[in-house]
Structure formats: C-alpha cells, structure tokens
Chain A
Amino acid sequence: MADIQIQNLSKSFGAFNALKDMSLQINDGEFVVFVGPSGCGKSTALKILAGLEAASGGRIIIGGEDVTELAPGKRDIAMVFQNYALYPHLTVRQNIGFGLKMRNTDKAEINARVERAAQALEITDLLDRRPKALSGGQRQRVALGRAIVREPRVFLMDEPLSNLDAALRVQMRAEITALQRRIGVTTIYVTHDQTEAMTMADRIVIMRRGVVQQIGTPDELFNRPNNIFVAGFIGSPSMNFITGTLARDDKGVFIEAGGLQLRPEGAVAHAASAYIGRSVICGIRPEALGLAAPNEAALEVEPMLVESLGSEAYVHFRLPGHQVAIPVAGEHEHEGRASGTLIARLYDVDQSLIGRQVRLAIKPNTSIHLFDPATEEAIK
C-alpha cells in the first residue's frame, strides 16, 4: 500500500496531446476514479501509471519511489483489464497464480495465496476450470483474484465492468468497492460511466481532451462543478442548460426563463452580480424541477416525451429561445445530448402527462448553477 504522486504528467503521440500536464496526489488507501468520455486521456494516464506506455513528460512517484522509468513488473502494481486478459490455456488457479509464478514464488506459497484469494472472491469451486467455462461475472472475479493475490501496492482498473450486463455491473460495482475498502489498497479506476464514478470513488478526476477538468469528491463534483462540461457529465439525466440575461430586482439577481424566475443564491448570486445585464448559461438539475402548485409561478411546457421508470418519470420538453445545446455526457462526447432538450425528473406522477400542459417549478433549496458562456467556467 502506498500513496501516489503524479507530477506534470504528459503524453503526446506526434502532434496529438493525449495527456496534458496532469498533476494529482492520491493518498494511501484511497479509491480514485478517472472519468471522462472516450479520448479524454484517462486510459492513457492509467497505462503510463502501469508502465505500459512511456510518459512524454512528468514524474510518477509511488510510495516515495520514482517509478517513471521502471518496467511494469517492477512497479509492484496489479492491473485489471477491460476484457479481463485471462489466459485461455490456463485454469483459473494457474491464471490467479501466474504473477507469483513469474516471480518464482514457492509452489506451496502460490497455492496458499491462490486459495486465500479464491475464498475472498468466493470462486474456490471454479479453480480448476478454464476461463471459457466461466460467466462474465466469474471471469471478472478471477481477474480481480489475479490482482489481489500478489498483494500489490496499487490496483489499476481499466473499465473492468464495461463488458458486463447492467444488473451484474451494479452487483460487481458494490463488490469491488467493498473489496477495496476491506483490503485498503490504493486504487485507480478508469471508467466512462459517471454512475460508476459517483458510486465507487472517494475522489473523482474528471478529464476531457487530455486535460483534468476537476478533482473532487462525488458530492463536490455534483454540487459545485467547475465548468459546463463537469456539470453536464456528472449526474443522470444530465443537467439542463438554459440561457438568459441576468437581471437584478429588490430580491436579488435572477434570470427570466419562459415565465419562471431562476434565482441563484449565496456565493453564486454574489459572484453573478458582475454579470448583470449580460447573457449567462444557467444550469438546473432535472431533479430540481417539480410540478408547480396551482397558484405558484411556473414554467408551462408541453412534454415531447415522458419516460416512466415506475417510481419516477423523465419529462422531456423544449424551451424555445432559452435552451442551449451542449454536448456532454456519454462515452463518446459527440454522442452526448446536444439537442437542447430539457428534462424534468418528476416523482409520484400518477397520470399521463403527454398531450397536456405541465406546469413546472423550481423546488425550494435547490442550487442554480451559472456559467460564463464564453469561458464555460462556473460563476461562483
């Protein structure tokens, strides 16, 4: 177990900069998730940490030791791959013990440690099978077994759940988190799935186009995003973005949006006073919208689509003149929600909303985020 310092790490492939000046301090035993869309540099960063790619610049220090120039096998790290990388010709037992065998560990010691790892992952009865005879979840466990059996200083995980189906992913997510907490090994986990990042991480590093956008706890990223990209990437469904001109009255600053006054509060309102009379982008989470009371000021919209999830419903609507199309969330940035459609996440909706006017209001005590349209940075 060890802490990790990443200092000004960069990687370029010719003229393309895959990673730009990444610096990060990861504490001993911490679970850090690198998240971002494809091509954001998260996997490149992980490969450089593993020693599978050479860095173009910067240093990596693990447990006080500079490992930047060390071979992967000498870094005392273990890695779990997206497709598990289990050797098809070896049994589960041989797969888990492979790393120890390569290091000429005593046979009895290998057996004992493989048994211990198998017990921890509840795969003892699979030890003599080949990977072909295992299900996706079982393969995932074997891949984890191969990582924990060596008792390394650091775990690196490269999208380990992306080959599993949705239900199994939720289960394995919880298992990996519990395992990491139990063993306490410093872990860096790469994913493009913000839900995985939010549920598993002690801290999240959100990246875009090779640049770290924000580093913080899941709550910090959700409640105080640094910029539009972070605001849109974290949270599902994504944050709604509405454009409008900032005005001030005796109750404070506000933005007029289709019959609704959006009033930022606290530090945001204070910082926003510099933007009076200027156009800003206002961010509202879908869960901040609710059905308005009969005499309350409300946003009257006609839903385009209502997706019912049983206990809640996603109401899609448009706000002509105010909606902003910002491509954000998703594995691929260009596939993000760029239509400008807004979403309200409503609970306890007991009737069909399609085909009739819906009156939406901002729930009390919810945050209104403001962003500078030019820099896309948060106004806070």
Chain B
Amino acid sequence: MSEFSQSRPAAPIVRRSHGLFGIDLASPRHANKLGYLLLAPAALLILAILVYPMLLAIDLSFHDVKFATLSFGADDYTLKNYQRLFSSPEFWNAIRTTCMLLLVVTSISLCVGMGTALLVNQQFRGRSFARMLIALPWAVPEVVAVVTWVWILDASFGVLNWLLLKAGLIGGQVSWFSSPGSAFSAVTMVMVWKGYPFISIMILAGLQSIPEEFYQAAKVDGANVFQRFIWITVPCLAPVLGVTLVLTVLWVFRDFSIIYVLTGGGPVGATETLAIMTYEEAFSFFRMGYASSIGVVTLLICAVISAFLVKKTSHAIY
C-alpha cells in the first residue's frame, strides 16, 4: 500500500473559462442556453422553408388567384376554392385513387418488407449480400429508377412484355399505360418496388432488437413458429411498424415523381392522386389558389392519419 500513499505534486489550478459574452456555456446553469443556440439554425431554417410556405399556401387557398403572390391578404378572403374543390368530381376521384393506392401499396409493401426482413434475419451464407440486394431499390434515385421502369414496361420494346410472351402468359403485347387497370397496377408495382426496402430495413432493425430469450422461452412453452410470429414478433415490432407505417403512408400520399413519370396521372385520371392533381392545377393550369386548397386538404388528411397511427401504435406495446 505504501507505494501508493506517497504525496503527489499539487495539480495545476484549472482556469475558469469566460466563454461567449462572459457566459460559460458548459456550466450546468447555462447548459440549456447552449441547447437553444445549437438548435437555432435548424429552427430558423424550418421556419423559412417549411412554416412560411405552409402559411403562404393556407393564405393562398383562401384567395382566388391565378399566380402565386408573396403578400398575405392581398385580396378579399373567399371560400370559393374549397366550394369548387368539394363539388368537383376530379377531386373525389383523386381522393379515391390516393386511398386505393395507399391501401394497396402500403399493404403489399408491408407484406413484402416483412417477408424479406424475416428472410434476411435468418442465418445463412451470403446474408450480407442478400441484405444489400434487398436495400438496393431504396438506393436508386427515384426518377432514374422510374425512367428505367418506363422502358421495362414499354409496350413495344419493354423487357416485361418480352418475358411474359416468352413464358406464354400473355398472347400479345400489353400496353401497360393505356388502360386504367393496368396503369394502376404498373404504378402500384413500381411504388412497391421502390417502397418495400425501407420497410424491410426498418423491420430488420426491429427484429434484431427482440431478445432471443423471448423466442427461446416461447419454444420451451410449446409455441410453434406461427404462434411465435403472432405473439412475439408482431407485438414486439409494433413501435417500429407504427413509425414505418406512418412514414410509408405519408410517402405514398405525397409521392409525385413515380406517377408523374410513369403515367402523368392518366389514363383518364386512373392514377391521378392528390399530389398529381395539385401539380396539374398549379403548374399546368396556373390556378394557384385552387391548387393550394388541394394542398391544404392533403395536409389535413396526412396530419389526421399520422396522428391516428402514432397514437394507435404508441399504445400497442408496453
């Protein structure tokens, strides 16, 4: 012990730092000020590029304007845009198309995402490669991917038609974008292809956080593979599934490039979602007030859906 008890030289006195404007931001008393300071750039940016345009759009939606103006309350306020919107068959058609797309794309993506995540969560040779392969569509830029799909689905030169013809599944070449049903299927397929990797990656992360003992305990208790999936995997994934579902729903709602590049909303409005309709009204017909009212309704629907999903899934576990 004695070798440790020798006297040590006195430690040098730490000089007090005076920091910014004489305030030491590292001290506990001023720590929250540092927090605000660090958050300020991000908060200002959000105000400038999100909140301000949003307020502008809400204001625009109550005015009958053709071109966007940056001055609030330039004209008299009117509900004309909303009256016209709710009585327009195109709007209800867009709502129906968006909801159908939402339902079909989200549920198929969820199934494919869950299936692939369960698959690559298993131990097998080449697992890392399989994981990379599954995540690949997510990494390809959206427009590049969709332009490629346009070529794949092309009626004359498309590789899909060629494959289906070779396999004998179709008698002649199918024009994927000319009938409402096939155009909707094509949009669904490309959206699922683009959207499932995100769900798969999220679920995979969720699966890896489930303790192995849960499964071991269930095995000892006699639960078969389906019972383990229903009683352990799904409830334990609920928080992850909730967040993933919200993000996927919002993505389908606001996605523009896939539909616009593939079909442009056609044929005869079969794939015209609220996002496409907003774009068309704003930048094809330059009805900015009307387009803003569609945007505001979309915003409200998205807010309600996310609030519902977040509330629902946050109570699903623990």
Chain A residues engaging chain B, CB cutoff 8 angstroms: 50-52, 71-75, 77-79, 81-83, 85, 87-90, 98-99, 102-103, 130, 132, 146, 150, 304-305
Contact = CB atoms under 8 A, between A and B. Distances in A.
Among A85, A103, A146, the most chain B Cβ lie within 10 Å of the Cβ of: A85
B222 A83 contact: no
A79 B220 contact: yes
26 contacts: A52-B219, A52-B220, A71-B219, A72-B216, A72-B220, A73-B221, A73-B222, A74-B222, A77-B220, A78-B221, A81-B213, A81-B216, A85-B216, A87-B231, A87-B232, A89-B238, A90-B235, A98-B218, A98-B221, A98-B223, A99-B220, A102-B218, A102-B222, A102-B223, A102-B231, A304-B1
B307 interface: no
B219 A51 contact: yes
Interface string B194-222: 00000000000000000101101111111
A73 B218 CA distance: 8
A52 B219 CA distance: 8
Interface string B297-318: 0000000000000000000111
Contacts of A52: 216, 219-220
B216 A102 contact: no
A317 to B, nearest CB: 13
Given A73-B222, A102-B221, A103-B222, A85 B213 contact: yes
B106 to A, nearest CB: 23
Complex A-B, nearest 4 residue pairs according to Cβ-Cβ distance, in ascending order: A73-B222, A99-B221, A85-B213, A85-B217
Among B1, B218, B221, B316, the most chain A Cβ lie within 10 Å of the Cβ of: B221
B210 to A, nearest CB: 10
Nearest to A152: B220
Contacts of A98: 218, 221, 223, 231
Contacts of B318: 88-89, 130, 132
Interface in B71-128: none
B183 interface: no
Interface residues of B, number: 22
Contacts of B232: 87
A81 B217 contact: yes
Contacts, number: 75
B213 A87 contact: no
A87 B318 CA distance: 9
A52 B215 CA distance: 10
Contact of B235 (A79, A81, A87): A87
Interface of B: 1, 211, 213-214, 216-224, 227, 231-232, 235-236, 238, 316-318
B90 to A, nearest CB: 44
Given A81-B213, A87-B214, A102 B220 contact: no
B220 to A, nearest CB: 5
Contact of A79 (B1, B217, B227, B231): B217
A74 B224 CA distance: 11
A102 B238 contact: no
A102 B227 contact: yes
Contacts of A50: 216, 220
A308 B194 CA distance: 69
Contact of B219 (A72, A87, A150, A305): A72
Contacts of A73: 219-224
Nearest to A80: B217
A87 B238 CA distance: 13
Nearest to B219: A72
B81 to A, nearest CB: 46
Contact of B1 (A71, A89, A305): A305
Given A52-B219, A87-B232, 8 more contacts: A52-B216, A71-B219, A73-B223, A75-B220, A85-B213, A88-B236, A89-B316, A98-B231
Nearest to A158: B213
Contacts of B221: 73, 78, 98-99, 102-103, 146, 150
A78 B214 contact: no
Contacts of B223: 73, 98, 102
B152 to A, nearest CB: 43
A144 to B, nearest CB: 13
B213 A83 contact: yes
A78 B221 CA distance: 7
Contacts of A81: 213, 216-217
Contacts of B220: 50-52, 72-73, 75, 77-79, 99
B141 to A, nearest CB: 39
Contacts of B216: 50, 52, 72, 79, 81, 85
Contacts of B211: 83, 85
B317 A99 contact: no
Contacts of A150: 221
B295 to A, nearest CB: 39
A301 to B, nearest CB: 15
B60 to A, nearest CB: 46
Nearest to A47: B216
A244 B216 CA distance: 51
Contacts of A51: 219-220
